[in-house]
A and B are shown apart, each in its own frame.
Chain A
Amino acid sequence: MSKPDTVAALVEVLVDEARPGLTASERGVVADYVRSTLAGMPDYFRIGFRMLAMMFEMAALPVHGHRFSRLAPAERQAHVEAWRRSRIGFRRSMIAFYTTFACYGLYSLPRAQDRAPVARIAA
C-alpha cells in the first residue's frame, strides 16, 4: 500500500474551493510551499501535525469507506467541511492552519515567476 499524501490531497481541496481551474503544476507549487512550511515549523508542532494528518486521513474511513487521500473529490470536500465545522477545537485549528498557508501559497503564485535567484553572501 502506497504512503498516503494527505497534505497534497488536503491542499487540492482547499485550492479547489478558491480556484478550481488551477493547473496541476501550480497546485504542486502550493502543495510544496505548504510542505516546506510544515518542515520548517517548530519541532514539537511538526510531530503534532504529523499525528493530526494521520488522524485526519484515517477519520474518513468509518464515514466514507476509504481513507481521505483515496476519496473522490466531493467526499474529500465533505470530510474537510466536517472538520472545519467540528465542535472539536483541534480539528477546526488544523483546517484553519492549512487554509492560511494554502491561501498564502495560492495568492503568491503570480509572483513566483518574478523570483530572483537566491543570493547568499559569502561569510
Chain B
Amino acid sequence: MNDPSEIETEILVIGSGPGGAVSGTLFAEAGRHVVMVEEGDHLALEAAPHFSREEMLLKYRNAGVGVALGRHKLAWVEGRCVGGGSEVNRGLYHRTPGYVFDDWRHRFAVHDLDLAGMTPHFEACEAVARVEYAGAAASDMSRRLQQGAQAQGWLAIEAPRLYRYDHDHHSGVKQSMSATFVQRFVAAGGALLPRTRIARLRRMNGHWIAQGSRRGEDGKQRPVTFRAKTVFIACGAVQTPALLRRSGFSHNVGDSLRFHPMVKVVAEFDRDVNRPDDFDPVHQVKEFEPRFGMGCSISTPAMLGVALSGRPDHWQLVAERWRRMGIYYVQSGGGEASVRNLPGFEDPIVRVRFSQGDLSVLGEGLRRLCEALFAAGAQRIYPCLAGYPDLHSPGDLARLPDVLQASDGNMTSVHVFSSCPMGEDRRRTAANSFGKVHGADGLYINDASLLCGPTSVNPQGTVMAVAHRNATEALTRRFH
C-alpha cells in the first residue's frame, strides 16, 4: 500500500496483538475489507534474541518501562510490534477455567459465556496457533518446581505453550500472532499498516474517523486519517482505555485495570538445573488458584543478574552459580488500577492500589513458594525483595513477614487486563457482552480490556478465544 494520508475501509482494526490479529483475520477471511494498524514495527521473530536487551528496545512498549504508581508500585511490560504481547511472551497457554467464566457471567451479566460455549472458539484458535507440550524436553529448573510441589502434596502441572517443538533438533517455532494469524490476515487480503498510531476517534456522518500518524522509513511522523464504518479497538488493556478516553468515552473505561502481580525469588540448588539451550520453563503450581499461583521465570544470566542486582556480590554470584539457579514467582490477581491521560503527554498514567488483603495473599504465596523450592532441594533462596533475608532452610521461613513488604520494582506483572469490562450490567461495564461499546454504533473493543477480571491462568488463550467469539458474533449480526 502507498502512503496516502486518507484511507477509507469497511473495518478498521486498531492493534495487532492477540485480540486484533484474531479479529482482523476472521473479518478478512469473511471477505470484508479490513485495515489493521499497529503502532510498532513489523519485525521477524528472530529480529532480536528472545528476552534480550535488543528485544526490549525493539519490541516492547516504552523500552520495557511501565510503572503503575501508588504506595506499592508495580512494574509491567507490554509488547509494541506487530503481534503485540504474543511476540515477547513465552506463549504459555491455558483455556480459561470454567469458574472464571461463571463468575464473569454472574457478576457482570455477560450473555452466552461459559466453558462449553467457548470451547469451539478455543479450538478454532488452537487450529491456527498450535499449542504443544515440552514433555520430556522440559528443563530441570522447570521440573524442580513440580517436584517440590508434589513433595508437598500439591497439584502441579506442565503448561502447554503456543509453540511447535522440534524434539529431534531441540528447537522449535513460536506460535506468535505474526507467525500465525497475521500471516493468514494478509493472505486473506487484509491490509496491515505497522508504525501507525491512532490518536483519537470521532463520529461523522455515520462513519468513524480515526486520526493519527504514520512513521515513515525516514523516521518522520506524517498525519493519517482513516474513515471506517466499523472500528475494533484492540490496543491492549492500557492503550485501549487511553484511546477511548481521548475520544470522549469514559463510562467504566480505564477504571478497573487488573494485573497478575508477582514477586520472585532466586533458588540455588546443589547441582546444575539451568543450561543455555534449555527450552523456556513450563511448570506451574495450581494448588492454590485462584488465590495465587506459582511458576518458573526465564532464568538467563541477564535475568538472574537483574533479579539479584540489589546485592553487592551479584556479578560473582551469577558468574559462579547461574547454572544452579532458577527464578520462580508467585502471582495473584490482587490490586486494581486506573488508566488516565495526562494533558500534554502521549503516554497514559496508571495508578494502582493494593489492599492489605492483597498483600497478605502474596505474603502467604511467597512462603508457600519457598516451601516448595526447599522441598525440591534448594540450598539457598534469595527473595527478590529489598530488605528480605536470604533463606538457608525451611526454618528460615518464619523470618518472612506475613504481609508482603514490597518496595519499588519488587512487584511486577506481564499480564494486564479488565480496563473496559464487557457485560450487560451498565453500572460496571464499558461494552456489551460481545464488546460493542455502550452507546456507540459500530465501535467495538476486542482485547484483554474486555475481560471482567483476572483469569488466574496465563490470559492469552482467553483473549484470543473471547476475540474469536466476539468477532464471530459481529459477523453474524452484520455489525449491528
A interacts with B: yes
A: which residues have CB within 8 A of B? 17-19, 33, 36-37, 39-45, 89, 92-93, 96-97, 99-100, 103-108, 111, 114-116, 118-123
Alpha-carbon distance between A36 and B55 when the two chains are bound, in angstroms: 12
Known A97-B409, A100-B409, A107-B318: A114·B49 in contact at CB below 8 Å:
yes
Q: Is B301 an interface residue (CB 8 A)?
A: yes
A93 to B386, CA, bound (A): 11
Please tell me which stretch of B64-72, B253-261, B367-375, B457-465 contacts chain A, meaning at least 4 of its Cβ atoms lie within 8 angstroms of it. Answer: B64-72
Knowing that A37-B64, A37-B65 are A-B contacts, what are 4 other residue pairs whose CB atoms are under 8 Å apart, sorted by A's residue number? A37-B63, A103-B306, A103-B309, A118-B47
Interface residues of B (CB under 8 A from A): 1, 41-44, 46-49, 52-54, 56-58, 62-67, 82, 178, 192-194, 300-302, 304-306, 309-310, 312, 314-315, 318, 342, 345-347, 349, 386, 407-409
Q: Which residues of A contact B310 (CB under 8 A)?
A: 96, 99
Is A99 within 8 A of B315, CB to CB? no
Assess A33 versus B53: contact at CB under 8 Å? Given A93-B408, A104-B306, A115-B48: yes
A114 to B53, CA, bound (A): 12
Give A115 to B49 CA distance when docked, in angstroms: 7
A118 touches B48 (CB 8 A): yes
Check A123 against B56 for contact (C-beta < 8 Å): no
Which residues in B have their C-beta under 8 angstroms from that of A43?
345-347
> For residue A105, which residues in chain B have a CB less than 8 angstroms away from its CB?
53
Q: Please give the distance in Å from B396's CB to the nearest CB on chain A.
A: 25
Assuming A33-B53, A108-B52, is B305 touching A44 (CB within 8 A)? no
Tell me which residues across on chain B come within 8 A of A119, comparing CB atoms.
43-44, 46-47
Q: Which residues of B contact A42 (CB under 8 A)?
A: 62, 65-67, 345, 347, 349
- Cα A96 to Cα B407 in complex, Å, equals 10
- A111 near B347 with CB under 8 A, answer no
Contact of B54 among A40, A96, A115, A122 (CB under 8 A): A115
User: Which listed residue (B41, B46, B52, B65) contacts A40, Cβ 8 A?
Assistant: B65
**Cβ contact within 8 Å between A40 and B57:** yes
A107 CA / B300 CA spacing, docked (Å): 9
Q: Determine the distance from Cα of A89 to Cα of B47 in the docked complex, in whole angstroms.
A: 38
Contacts of A89 in B (CB 8 A): 408
23 A-B pairs in the complex with CB atoms less than 8 angstroms apart: A40-B57, A40-B63, A40-B64, A41-B62, A42-B65, A42-B66, A42-B345, A43-B345, A89-B408, A96-B386, A100-B306, A103-B309, A103-B314, A106-B315, A107-B305, A107-B306, A116-B46, A119-B43, A121-B42, A121-B178, A123-B1, A123-B192, A123-B193
Task: Give A100 to B53 CA distance when docked, in angstroms.
Answer: 12
| Distance to closest chain A CB from B49 (angstroms) | 6
In the bound complex, residues from chain A placing their C-beta under 8 Å from that of B309 are 99-100, 103
Return chain A residues, CB-CB under 8 Å to B44: 119, 121
Cα distance A55–B278 when bound, in Å?
44
Alpha-carbon distance A104/B57, docked complex (angstroms): 12
Cβ–Cβ < 8 Å partners of B312 in chain A: 17
A41 B1 Cβ-Cβ under 8 A: no
Complexed CA–CA distance, A40 and B347 (Å) = 11
Q: Which of B43, B62, B300 interacts with A120 by CB under 8 Å?
A: B43
Chain A residue nearest in CB terms to B73? A93
Contacts of A122 in B (CB 8 A): 42
With the chains together, A116 CA to B67 CA distance in Å?
30
Measured between beta carbons, the chain A residues less than 8 angstroms from B43 are: 118-121
Q: How far is the CA of A19 from the CA of B52 in the complex (A)?
A: 20
Looking at the assembled complex, report how far the CB atom of B174 sits from the nearest CB atom of chain A, in whole angstroms: 15
Least Cβ–Cβ distance between B224 and chain A, in angstroms: 13
Contact A104 to B305, CB < 8 A, known contacts A116-B46, A123-B193: yes
